[in-house]
Structure 1
Amino acid sequence: MEIKKISIACNKSDIFSVTMKNTLLKHNPMKTTPNLQKSAFLAVLIMLSGLSVSAQSKGSGNLTKQDRTVEPFTEIEAGSAFVVKLSQGEPQQLSISADDNYINNIETTVENNRLVITSSGIKNPSAMNIYIKVPNITLIDLQGAARLDSDGVLKGASLTIEASGASKTYLELDVMELKSEISGASKVVLLGTAQAHKTEVSGASSLDALKLSSQAVDAEISGAAKAKIYAVSEINADLSGAGSLIYFDNDEIRKLNKPGNYTLNFQNPETPGEADMEGVISSTESGDSTLINIGDVSVQVIEGNPTKVTVGGNELVVDEDGNVKFNRKRKDRFDGHWGGFDMGINGYLNSDNKFDMPQGYDFLDLRMEKSINVALNFWEQNFNLIGNQFGLTTGLGFEWNNYRFDNNIKIDRDDELGIVGMELDEDGVGYFKSKLVVNYLNLPLLLEYQTNRFSKKNSFHIGGGLLTGLRIGAHTKMVYDDGSKQKDKDRDSKGFDLNPFKFSLMARIGWGKINLYGNYSLNTLFKDGHGPELYPFAVGITLAGW
């Protein structure tokens, strides 16, 4: 093993001294045939997921309120289906409102100045409301199906917003510096003022900041994301994929939806009044619409009206308050279980079907509970084979594999050695997160059997097949604190030597509305000879199916 001392320059010209351990890689041929142990491992994980779901109870319907005392904090992290009401003031207060048989299942702990709100063993609660009053807030991290609304204006020097999953955020702000990272299918609405705003909007998420006045905005919009922005002086925008930007320019609403880098300069009002924006907002809400048709899939988005997603005869309606109504038309043909929104965990196994990393690759050890797998399977096509109970399902979907590393490391690629790890250790710097994110466009071939085609609640289904994925993106992300919270996101021109395709065994099983899934890759994560022999897997549950 050869040890080299190197320096890495970060975004703010801080120089970190790091030690990089480069290990010559073994040449392992790509595996393409699963063995019995791999199949058994996948089956056990699916069974355990099923036991966890069936063990949950239901809310009593008797709401109770509980005041809690915790250590001081300036950051908030919440997931699940919590509804958070946040206000600014003194003294610090924290209250929980939930079913009396669930309230003790809600945990509120403070770790490294961050209030973390979690739950366990909860199903069908009547309410999970969190009321927070805090003197100062610097970071909001919202995940899952959580919702957070501000009660009054939140003031401060800087604020970071992280929204993912299907979360919803509504904030009124008065800050100097604002950072927002919006992904998944989340929705963020911002009002007030922010002198400088840097935002990343990706996936199928949306940002509505037309009523947030900023001097300058830097925006990175990708995937099928949508952003509405108001800037007094300048917008620097980077659009990719099907991302779109709506902005205000001298009494007119304009829209960009072509990929590219844009620099936009304005002479907009410093603090536009309600009269200035009234016509603009109403014009946008009544006139800005999008209609997309792909086969039997129709997506209709009209500002001010509910969003409608139609797949064949099925319709998913989402109103402006986030309420979802699913209208399913009874069909006389086979209907499989591919389309929907999946969430679970992902990881990888070595050539011996174990979690241990090969020698010299300990830096790839994962923090499994934070390694999240997300899939948006937006199109499904079914073919009946036998009696409307056995058929073939295919379609298309996007998948995000988040590999959260257990150690404070950063991975990189060496032209001779392939994938290498860099251990980060700098006095006065706190490291919070380091991960590799890999994105795929997936095409399934799924054979499925179901016992009762026409029942939503009393039907068992099981299926298996091949899932082919085309890698469409990859990046690393590191979060650290050197006096202020920083994020470094790096992309590699050669994709970190990841394989461009992923061929996975796929299994889906469920009863009624519950659907569990598991995927196991037949080929390695990294290219042959450029990294360790690791086989990706993912297991989880379908949160919303169609």
Structure 2
Amino acid sequence: MNKLFTLMVLAFVCTTATAQIDTSAAKSNTIKLPEEKNDTIRIGNIVIIKNGGNHVESNSRNTKINMGRNRHKKLSNISTNWGIIDFGFANYSDKTNYAAATVGQSLVNAPNSNFPLGASDFKLKAAKSIDVNIWFFMQRLNLIKHHVNLKYGLGLELNNYRFRSDISFKEPGFSPYSSTAAIPNAYVIRDSISFSKNKLAADYLTVPIMLNFSSNSGDHNRGISVSVGVSAGYLYSQRNKQVSNQRGKQKNKGDYDLEQFKFSYIAEIGLGPVRLYGSYSPNSIFEKGLDMRAYTLGIRLSNW
């Protein structure tokens, strides 16, 4: 009997100790769960709690789960676009006083000519007067939340004016109609032969600067983008290129009294991935005599 009683006491003590150990272990393994709400998901023993909208965490072992789209990376305050190309048309608004230009010898007519040089001689073949611009780079500087930006760059403007008539540009020198009459400035004559191709080319190194407004700050290839500003160009090349049966191909580089600098108002509009550009110069591209105010319009191949 004493032995049986002793065994029962030992069994009770062991059972109590085991229960205490299990209780302690249970307490140590117990995970406090937050009050479940509509944004709480339970999968077995894992509880996933949504934080915000796109990111959720479990409260066990710091497990993180991404749901939905990843957030956009932080946009850079300065971005650079390399190698931009423009294709368009070049033309001008003719404001020339032809009587004054003739008196000033910017226009030289043949002796006893009944048809002096006039506006019709400077009409262009619009479809063949081409504007090509090559921008080495353009940068965009964030001003206000990437919706308002400053755009600027550096590049070449290549303006080609294709004439309908047979005029020729000449440098200062003796008149083609008199070996004794010297003309102190560049001038234009109506030539004695017909040209199958007759154009004046003016090339500029140009710096544009624009204020840009974009409806989509995260993706400038979507939404609407509008830029307006000004540009300053430095004339580094001018030439009168002509093709005729009598003289063949001629590329006459010289000084034809074009202004050394060209100031223009410029604009750009983007509709999704399509971008159009335009420019207008309020001043004549010639120093004196002729008053031609250049403008361009075309399409721009650019990332933004």
1:420 aligns with 2:184: no
1:341 matched to 2:85: yes
1:477 deviates by 0.3
Maintained 8 Å contact 1:446/1:465: yes
Who wins on radius of gyration, i.e. which is larger?
A: 2
From 231, 254, 279, give the equivalent of 1:519: 279
RMSD: 2.6
SS at match of 1:496: coil
Identity over aligned pairs, percent: 31
Q: Say whether the 8 Å CA contact 2:226–2:267 is kept in structure 1.
A: yes
Aligned to 2:268: 508
Shift of the 452–410 alpha-carbon distance from structure 1 to 2, 3 Å rule, reads: same
* Residue 441 of structure 1: how far off its partner (Å): 0.4
- Write 1 or 2 for the structure with the bigger share of strand: 1
Give the structure 2 partner of residue 471 of structure 1: 235
Once the two structures are TM-superposed, the CA of residue 536 in structure 1 deviates from its matched residue by 0.8
Deviation at 1:425, TM superposition (A): 3.4
Letter of the structure 2 residue corresponding to residue 372 of structure 1:
I
Paired residues for 1:21-60 under 5 Å: none
Q: Which amino acid aligns with 1:487?
A: K
Q: Which residue of 1 aligns with 2:222?
A: 458
Match for 1:539 among 279, 290, 297? 297
- CA gap of 1:336–1:508, structure 2 versus 1, over 3 A, is farther
Deviation at 1:335, TM superposition (A): 5.1
In the alignment, is residue 371 of structure 1 matched against residue 135 of structure 2?
A: no
The structure-2 alpha-carbon separation of the partners of 1:491 and 1:417, relative to structure 1 and needing over 3 Å to count, comes to: same
**Higher-RCO chain (CA-CA 8 Å, sequence separation at least 6):** 2
Kindly provide the amino acid, as one letter, of the partner of residue 137 in structure 2.
W
Does structure 1 conserve the Cα–Cα contact (< 8 Å) formed by 2:172 and 2:184?
A: yes
Matched with 1:431 is 195
Distance in 1 between residues matched to 2:168 and 2:141, nearest whole Å = 45
What amino acid is the match of 2:154? L
1:409 to 142, 159, 167: 167
Counterpart position of 2:207: 443
For 1:336 and 1:460, locate their aligned partners in 2 and report how far apart those are by CA, in whole Å.
19
- C-alpha distance in 2, partners of 1:456/1:448? 11
Q: SS of 1:369's equivalent?
A: helix
CA deviation profile, 1:413-432 (whole Å, cap 9, x unmatched) = 34647443332334xxx621
Displacement after TM superposition at 1:361 (Å): 3.7
Residue type matched to 1:503 in 2?
A: F
How high is the TM-score relative to the length of structure 1? 0.35
**Aligned residues of 1:462 and 1:508 also touching (Cα < 8 A):** yes
User: Deviation at 1:446?
Assistant: 0.6
Answer yes or no: is the 8 Å Cα contact 2:86–2:298 preserved in 1: yes
**Residue in structure 2 matched with residue 85 of structure 1 by the alignment:** none
Offset of residue 377 of structure 1:
0.7
Letter in 1 for 2:218: F
Task: Give the drift of 1:524.
Answer: 1.3
Task: Give the CA deviation at 1:486.
Answer: 1.9
Query: How far apart in 2 are the matches of 1:458 and 1:390?
Result: 15
Distance (whole Å) between structure 2 residues aligned to residue 508 and residue 338 of structure 1: 17
Aligned mates of 1:330, 1:399 — CA distance in 2 = 35
Q: Secondary structure at the match of 2:171?
A: strand
Question: Which of 481, 486, 490 is matched with 2:252 structurally?
Answer: 490
**Does the Cα contact within 8 Å between 2:78 and 2:139 map onto a contact in 1?**
no
1:296-336 deviations in Å (ceiling 9; x for gaps): xxxxxxxxxxxxxxxxxxxxxxxxxxxxxxxxx99433658
Looking at structure 1, the residues matched to 118 and 170 of structure 2 have their Cα atoms a distance apart, in angstroms, of: 13
Give the CA deviation at 1:480.
1.3
TM-score, length basis structure 2: 0.61
Amino acid of the structure 2 residue aligned with 1:479: V
Quote the Cα distance in structure 1 between the aligned partners of 2:185 and 2:270. 41
In 2, Cα distance between equivalents of 1:520 and 1:501: 14
Three-state SS of the structure 1 residue aligned to 2:256 is helix
- Quickly say closer, same or farther: Cα 1:358–1:334, change in 2 above 3 A: farther
CA drift at 1:456: 5.0
CA distance in 1, matches of 2:227, 2:83: 14
Mind listing any 5+ residue stretches in structure 2 that lack a counterpart? 1-72, 100-116, 174-182
Work out whether residues 350 and 358 of structure 1, in 8 Å CA contact, stay in contact via their aligned partners in 2: no
- Paired AA for residue 486 in structure 1: G
In structure 2, do the counterparts of structure 1 residues 350 and 414 end up closer, same or farther at CA, with 3 Å as the change threshold? same
Aligned pair in 2 of structure 1 residues 393, 376: CA closer, same or farther (>3 Å)? Answer: same
Which residue is equivalent to 2:114? Answer: none
Whichever structure has more helix as a proportion of its residues is 2
